[in-house]
Chain A
Amino acid sequence: MDDTQHSQQLALFLASTAHDMKNSISVLSGTLERLLDGASPQAGSADPRLAQMAQMLYQTRRLNDNLMQLLALYKKVGQPEYPFDVQPIPASELAEQVASLGRVLLQSRGIVFDVEVDPDLIWHVDEDLIVGVVSHAVNNAVNYTHDRIRLALRRDGEVLEIRVEDNGGGYPQALLDAGAEAMSGISSGVDFRTNSAGLGLYFAREVARMHRHRGRHGAVRLENGGAFGGGCFILTLP
């Protein structure tokens, strides 16, 4: 009895601390975005301070994504305990949200962002999770691209396929291997110590697998190629 009471108090404390941290990070990244957004129209990439700010924004985003993923995993995403919430959502609105989340960062890095989506396509997804996973993939692609990233959503038979492609030199072999492991479902295969992308991929896989329909479930994979011949992150949802 005392034990459960103690762990309940601890959970409450952790939840309220997490709440505080999220508030702080969202204020931080919101302010950085606003500053950068106000400065960039004059093609200010010549100013080295702006480049530094863009880097700060990139890092803040990473921090935010990692914290969110950790918290979500701590709340057991992928387990029946997570309040998984599927709704019919237009694919165009998923793309719209991912695009707006990346806008300032991509602009400040001089990266062109292409979006291709079937305007009539509607899919049943947990919107918050999917927007989070795809945004994270876009942030990741910022690292690998030369100057172009493409987000494409289309129906492929019985699944929704979401692709994030870049025109860089492609993912290194270690990352492709990590992706293959994530896909194969050997969760112990992702090495969190040596692979910084591990958490993101692990999270993406968990999110994909929660999306189930008629005995099928979602999946993620990484490959090189795609429209630009660079790295591709591919999420499929039944």
Chain B
Amino acid sequence: MNSPIERKPEQIDWASKNYLVVDDFIGVRQLLRESLRSLGARNIDQAASGGEAIALLAKTRYDVVLCDFNLGDGKNGQQVLEEARARHFLLPSSVWMMVSAEKSVESVMGAAEHQPDAYLVKPITEGVLLTRLNRAWHRKQVFRPIDQAYAEKDYLRAARLCDEQIGASRVHEIDLLRMKARLMEKSGEPEKARETYERVLSQREYQWARAGLAKIRMANGELEQARQMFLGVIAENRYYIDAYDQLAQVYQNMGKYDEACTILERATKLSPNSVPRQRNLGQVCLKLGNVAMAERAFRKCIAIGEYSVRKTPDAYLGMARVCGLKNDPKEALVLLAAAQREFGAEHPDMPLRAKITEGLVYHESGDYRHARKAGDELEVQLNARPERPDVPTCLEMATLLFAVGVKDAPVELLCYVARNNHDNAVLLDEVQAIFEKARMGEEGAALIRASKKEASDLMNQGVLLWKTGKLDEAVAWMRSARNKLPNNQRILFNAAQVLVSHMKEKGHDELLAAEAHEVLAHVDQLQPGQQRFAQLMEQLAALAPKGETVEEMPPPSEPAA
């Protein structure tokens, strides 16, 4: 045979790599092993189940993993991949090939963060395997510096690296543009993300790019346009599941919970094994009072969560609500205890959230005496610890506490929310509404005004010190402001800004840099995707002394939404 196909100039040495083959069928494992051996591979481990695979992945850093999606009972291939990424069992250069008997729905459904490097459809032959391995490997090389910057959350640098690579590697152009668009979204630059998606669409009608445009519309409040675009994507490819999830969000933002429920139900039929999707379905059903469907969704969510790193306490809390609505508070308490056992270690708010749900369950089932008791216990818990949970939990808690007749604790909570979000008008309206529902409208308005003033006074003093060049004092002032208002994003951003200015003026300082990173990481956790975050991260990275060896970071893998 004479084949004039030019080989790639840089040949990859596949012989010296470490391989893991995961398949529950021994015949296939042997066949794959033989195929790899014919590429020269010597170090090939095998696993017959997801559990075995995880045990091997924990011990050895593999260069290549060939993993069947369908592994019988226990974890499936996707769950093995997610766990391996979450537990940092993979090298940044590791190639993960997901194998399946048929073209899998997952391969086109669009949740790019959780994708393997390639999908292979059986039967796998040597030539196809080699071509796909080479491609995935080259792609990794191209993306390596980008992934590194991404992991460091220096999104603007990562986006610049994408631009540089686009000219150099035409094969990966579309992939690079996809990454760039995501980076622009994360940097709070929707206009640049939109341009990037448009650039892709000028070449081909890629559904993820169309869906990207729709997401930008949704974020912009153009809900009707977003709705139509997502419907268009689904009509074009009904397996593009991400569009269903987004469309459901559009409907929720429109207040159309019936439609959101219908679309999520369709999505869970097509792709049932997603923890966040089942949770969303359950929560929408609860809002609609569709107890039977909520129960199915939460049960499924708990079942698939058993083998997934993305398991969530929300499913247990939701299921407890279902039990309450079915007038079975005993079963609800069992579930709440289970949630605290399962998640208590990683979720410090678990006791609070379990107690809130307990109160809700009693309140909804008309047992006002026990509801009040739960409220009193909540108040005790709140007084015992200074930290406050996230904003939605605070609002939920305040609502419940007012409803069961507790007064001081919810007022304190709402003032806390107002102080830490003094410039968020939408949220302050919500807070006001809760006060009004508790027949405290006027008192609430005064409290909100006072909270706003306290926050802006703290901030203005810091800004004044900064603007007048008293940088040391500004740093100290913002530090104490952060102590008083630990979750106020404006204050956090300004604290980081003052730290960056200090270093720009007086030189790099490791302690100040670490403090700035900590502050920014916290604000990004409170609300990801802000422009100021990306800009400050970039400035901070630029201040770091050159030649500093940067430790290798794991590839980007986002936590469960």
Contacts and interface: CB of A to CB of B under 8 A. Distances in A.
Contacts of B4: 114-116
A122 B128 CA distance: 17
Per DSSP, are chain A's interface residues mostly helix, strand or loop, or mixed? Answer: helix
Contact of B123 (A30, A80, A90, A107): A30
A71 interface: yes
Interface stretch (B24-32, B41-49, B340-348, B385-393): B24-32
Given A15-B102, A90-B171, A122-B171, A22 B123 contact: yes
A72 B170 CA distance: 31
A128 B103 contact: yes
Contact of A27 (B28, B108, B121, B170): B28
A27 B148 CA distance: 40
A72 B101 CA distance: 11
B237 interface: yes
Interface stretch (A98-106, A154-162, A228-236): A98-106
Contacts of A48: none
A23 B27 contact: yes
A26 B102 contact: no
A106 B1 contact: yes
B464 interface: no
A116 B121 CA distance: 26
A30 to B, nearest CB: 5
Nearest to A92: B5
B5 A117 contact: yes
25 contacts: A16-B70, A19-B101, A19-B122, A25-B123, A27-B28, A29-B123, A31-B31, A72-B102, A80-B236, A83-B104, A83-B237, A83-B239, A84-B237, A85-B108, A90-B171, A93-B135, A96-B127, A97-B127, A97-B128, A99-B5, A115-B4, A122-B171, A124-B204, A213-B204, A213-B205
B35 interface: yes
B483 interface: no
B27 A27 contact: yes
B34 A85 contact: no
A57 interface: no
Contacts of B34: 30, 34
Contact of B5 (A30, A96, A131): A96
B131 A30 contact: no
Interface residues of A, number: 54
B122 A97 contact: no
Contacts of B262: none
A103 B239 contact: no
A85 B206 CA distance: 10
B105 interface: yes
A99 B3 contact: yes
Nearest to B106: A83
B268 interface: no
B86 interface: no
- Give the interface residue-count category, chain B: 35 or more
Given A82-B239, A83-B239, 20 more contacts: A19-B102, A20-B25, A22-B123, A26-B123, A26-B124, A27-B31, A29-B123, A30-B125, A72-B102, A83-B108, A83-B237, A84-B237, A85-B119, A88-B174, A96-B131, A97-B127, A99-B127, A103-B1, A112-B2, A131-B128
B122 A85 contact: no
B130 interface: yes
Given A22-B122, A100-B125, A119 B102 contact: no
Interface string A192-236: 000000000000000000000100000000000000000000000
A23 B1 contact: no
Given A64-B123, A92-B6, A83 B174 contact: no
A75 interface: yes
A112 B127 contact: no
Nearest to A27: B27
Contact of A113 (B1, B174, B203): B1
B117 interface: no
Contact of B102 (A75, A84, A92, A99): A75
Given A83-B105, A101-B125, A101-B127, A24 B27 contact: yes
B27 A115 contact: no
B243 to A, nearest CB: 13
B122 A80 contact: no
Interface in B102-152: 102-105, 107-108, 119, 121-128, 130-131, 135
A18 B544 CA distance: 56
A83 B204 contact: no
Which of B2, B30, B131 has most A Cβ within 10 Å? B131
A95 interface: yes
Closest 9 CB pairs of A and B: A100-B127, A26-B123, A19-B101, A83-B239, A27-B27, A83-B108, A113-B1, A30-B31, A85-B108
B131 A82 contact: no
Contact of B25 (A23, A92, A113): A23
B517 interface: no
